[in-house]
Amino acid sequence: MESKKIKIALVGNPNIGKTTLFNRLCGLSQKTGNYPGVTVDKKIGEFTFNQTDFEVIDLPGINSLYPKSKDEELVIKYLEDAEGDNYPDKIVVTVSALHLKRNLYLFHQIKDLEIPIVLAINMTDVAKKRGITIDEQKMSNLFKCPVIKISAKTGLGLNKLKETLTQTIISDPIEVTYTNVFTEKELETYKHKYQKLSKYHFFLSVTNHQLNIDEVLEQKNTTERKLRIDESILRYKFIRSYFDEIVKVDESKAVDFTTRVDRFLLHPFWGYVIFLFILFSIFQSLFVIAAYPMDWIDLGVNYISEVTKSALPSGYLTDLIADGIIPGIGGVVIFIPQLAILFLFFSFLEESGYMSRIVFLMDKLMQRFGMSGKSIVPLMSSFACAIPGIMAARTIENKKERLITILVSPLLTCSARLPVYVVLISLIVPNEYIGPFSLQGLIMTAMYLLGIITALLAAIVFKWILKGNYKSTLLLEMPQYLWPNGKNILIKIWEKVSSFVLNAGKIILASSVILFVLATQGGEDFDNAELIVKSNTTNAVGFEEKVNAFKLENSYLGQLGRTIEPIIRPLGYDWKIGIALISSLAAREVFVSTMSTIYSIQSNENMTIINRLKKEKKPTTGKAVFGLATSISLLLFYAFSLQCLSTVAVTYKETKSIKWTAIQFLYMSIFAYAVSFLAYQFLN
């Protein structure tokens, strides 16, 4: 019989290394899912120590048990649901040795929930370099629970933490007052009356408006807000009463590298210059560094397609695999190097502590656009994918700022647009250098900047439309600069790239099969293609290719494309591009795989997708289909349109509003069509 896993919940303030600890404990033995009924990611991992199996859940970072965001609401509901399947057997509260006084407020709140608890003090190695000494034994005696010094980055103290978790943890309540309104006897009575887990559970239910005891509060001449304020004052008073006994700071031993670096990175002028330079370097590297591995993958995909054709017996199934599935999937796999580089840089910024500086630096600027510094995290996340970007907006307390952030996030250039941009830029921009800078990389940077500028302009419009004068206050801890942990970065890159490839791969596999079937079946003209082409041509040169082109145009896929062609022709698109536009509603990157599949079916030549598109000519004029005007039009269309139904679904889940979901989809689609129309008509 399989032994029951011990459930461990990781709780802590944001940016104190909790997720790094989770990665250290579980490594790759983790999975990501959604909490029931919401779209916030939860991470669950497993590890075994001394023949004891553990299941670890990494809860979102919170500041207190008084929720100001959706993330915090979720954590509190989780900790109150004693009947839930994932209710923890033990809790590890992670605090930072660098911000201990502030972090201990949440610890004392969690402690009063009367769940077996371990206090893990992270970054103790860094604290030592700053002259900070912490007496964990005094803390353990005072708090009546295990206190472990750790470094999630280096692994210091992790075995001791695991050993402690295998033992029975006795976590006696601390005799600390958090309310002067209710007596201990009253709290005990109310606890039993309302069937709460602890006296503090009852207190939280009152202060978080979950229990209606207005008559009692009126008799006590208090309100839920006053109860919260009183608790904060009493808890911090208690923390101050012992803090100097457990924490000693000797500034003569401090080596404060962080402060010196922040003078430049948080400078009101140079801070922005450095930030823009970092973004520019990232986008340059997407072309320069990734060029060789992308070429190797492209050649490899073509080689696999040729080997498949020669190894399998000729027939419809072989054509489906070699000309449909392999080119379709290869059209996305080729971009793995660029995705990995993008996620590498973003993970490096997050792990090093610089991402928090970006939030702080951008706060005043973002206020002008109806958002706040906290909006930067969702917006930066949207460079990877708009879906986690929109979900990350849950940390924004101000409803107006949160809604604006959600509505403009999809305008940022996500990784799904990257394959489309790379193909189109490669078609119209030569692979040349201006000094040390790649010309293609400069155009890619311009596309990213275009997305940023458009998102900010859209935010101004929504700031004017939406009512609400309240401005949020940014409360943020600046973490110590740390050299990123290579293992954590590799885990993050693996998670994001594999998620992208697997999610896109399923869509591409299905669409490749559907597209191939529709492109290889048709009506009477399709079946008699050879006779019709033969009767209309006197030149035998290129006869087979002409037949393939005629078949494709008269297939079911071609008929669908020609139906929508009048709508998109003013943008410079033919029916083949129209098919790609429709299929990419499932995922933007499907555009590339669709074009790859279509042109693989049309031509028997073995060549890369870039060369296939360069070779394509308009039958009426003989000019390149993907000329400057059409390619620029497509670039702008994909820069602004919401070609991702998954993003639409997540927007609805997060806003619970059909109105704002529809507004987001329509304003982006109409704007994309208008800008692409003007660009094509002007350039053509």
For 120-171, the pLDDT digits (tens) are: 999 888 888 777 889 999 999 999 999 999 998 888 999 999 999 999 988 7
pLDDT at 166: 92
Please write the tens of the pLDDT for every residue from 215-228.
888 888 888 888 88
Please write the tens of the pLDDT for every residue from 649-676.
888 888 888 999 999 999 999 999 999 9
Please report, rounded to a whole number, the percentage of residues in the chain having pLDDT higher than 70.
88
Identify the top-confidence range among 236-245, 277-286, 480-489: 236-245
Q: Which residues, 6 or more positions from 442, have their beta carbon under 8 angstroms from its beta carbon?
A: 284, 434
Give the whole-angstrom CA distance, residue 75 versus residue 650: 20
Structure pTM? Answer: 0.59
pLDDT at 35: 39
Residue spans of the domains in the chain: they are 1-255, 501-683
How many alpha carbons lie under 13 Å from residue 420 in its C-beta half-sphere? 29
pLDDT at 469: 54
Give the whole-angstrom CA distance, residue 377 versus residue 393: 8
DSSP state letters, 149-203 = E-BTTTTBTHHHHHHHHHSPP--PPP-----SSS-HHHHHHHHHHTT-SSHHHHH
Higher pLDDT pick, 84 / 33: 84
Please write the tens of the pLDDT for every residue from 381-408.
787 778 777 877 877 777 888 899 999 9
| pLDDT above 90 for 550 | no
Please write the tens of the pLDDT for every residue from 608-659.
667 777 777 777 777 877 888 989 999 999 999 987 777 888 888 888 889 9
Output the CA–CA distances (angstroms, integers) from residue 354 to 114, 363, 413, in the order listed: 36, 14, 21
Specify the CATH architecture of the domain 1-255.
3-Layer(aba) Sandwich (3.40)
* DSSP-derived 3-state class of residue 39: coil
Mean pLDDT of the chain: 81
- Binning the chain into helix, strand and coil, the percentages to the nearest 5 are 60, 10, 30
Q: Which residues, 6 or more positions from 54, have their beta carbon under 8 angstroms from its beta carbon?
A: 5, 6, 7, 8, 25, 46, 47, 48, 165
In the block, residue with structure tokens 């370097």: 281
117-122 and 147-149: which strand pairing? parallel
Please write the tens of the pLDDT for every residue from 182-226.
888 888 888 888 888 888 888 888 888 887 788 888 888 888 888
Please write the tens of the pLDDT for every residue from 261-293.
777 888 888 888 888 888 778 777 766 777 778
**Residue 37 pLDDT class (50, 70, 90 cuts):** very low
**Residue 474 pLDDT class (50, 70, 90 cuts):** low
Which range (87-101, 220-234, 473-487) has the least confidence?
473-487
Which stretch of DSSP H or E encloses residue 249?
Answer: strand 247-249
Mean pLDDT of 33-62: 75
Handedness of CA 152, 156, 159, 160 (dihedral sign): negative
Higher pLDDT pick, 158 / 335: 158
pLDDT at 135: 93
* DSSP-derived 3-state class of residue 12: strand
| pLDDT above 90 for 595 | no
Give the whole-angstrom CA distance, residue 639 versus residue 584: 13
In the block, residue with structure tokens 């308009």: 618
Identify the top-confidence range among 13-27, 316-330, 465-479: 13-27
A 10 A CB-CB count for 457 gives: 12
| pLDDT above 80 for 116 | yes
Residues 331/317, Cβ–Cβ less than 8 Å: no
